[in-house]
Amino acid sequence: MTRPHLSSIPRPSITPDVPSQAAFFAIEILPEELSEVIDHVRNTEYLRWLDRGAQLHLEQMGWSYDDLIRSHRLFFVARHEVDYLNEILSEDRIVLATWVRDVRRVKSWRDSILFRQEKDGTTTEVCRAATLWVHVDLDSRRPVSISPEMVVAMQPSQQEQPRSRRACT
């Protein structure tokens, strides 16, 4: 499977509910991401985009995937909460907004929104997601503290919310 093609872009003008520290990525929809039955993107591709966006955002903050591997530490997904709000068609122009909501000792909540850019200049939310990432030592396979430098670079938008069934806020 081809790696999702995401390109960093400046903040679009119409992005409600997105904090200032968010990163934005244009998504190129590839033919292999489409359902073989109907002309829309498969739901599993949304997860691949969310994962790739998180990786690219972390790189923008100064920690590449290779840097993390060399340090024997990596983030693993512990939980995805995904609300599919609208389908994505092959001709749609999609933007991913992603940001870190909260960082605790070994975990981090990341929120993401997928927007469709409409022809009239407006945007439509097509997906909201929240992902719980856990920072893991690759040798011991145990959770390990996130460095203070990384926490500062992540610029969390708020403190962790009480455990509840909710997507990004």
| Residues ≥6 apart with Cβ < 8 Å to 96 | 6, 24, 25, 27, 49, 50, 53, 112, 113, 114, 115
pLDDT greater than 60 at residue 130: yes
Q: Quick one: CATH architecture of 5-154?
A: Roll (3.10)
Please tell me the predicted confidence (pLDDT) of residue 103.
95
Please tell me the predicted confidence (pLDDT) of residue 97.
97
Rounded to an integer, what is the distance from CA 101 to the centroid of its chain?
Answer: 11
Q: What is the mean pLDDT of residues 60-74?
A: 93
Residue 136's nearest CA partner among 55, 78, 80, 79 is 78
Residue 96 CB neighbour total at 10 angstroms: 27
d(C-alpha 131, C-alpha 129), whole Å: 7
Q: Answer with the residue of higher pLDDT: 166 or 112.
A: 112
Confidence of residue 161 (pLDDT cuts 50, 70, 90): very low
Please tell me the predicted confidence (pLDDT) of residue 166.
46
Q: Answer with the residue of higher pLDDT: 42 or 15.
A: 42
pLDDT greater than 80 at residue 168: no
Confidence of residue 57 (pLDDT cuts 50, 70, 90): very high
Q: What is the mean pLDDT of residues 39-61?
A: 93
pLDDT greater than 60 at residue 26: yes
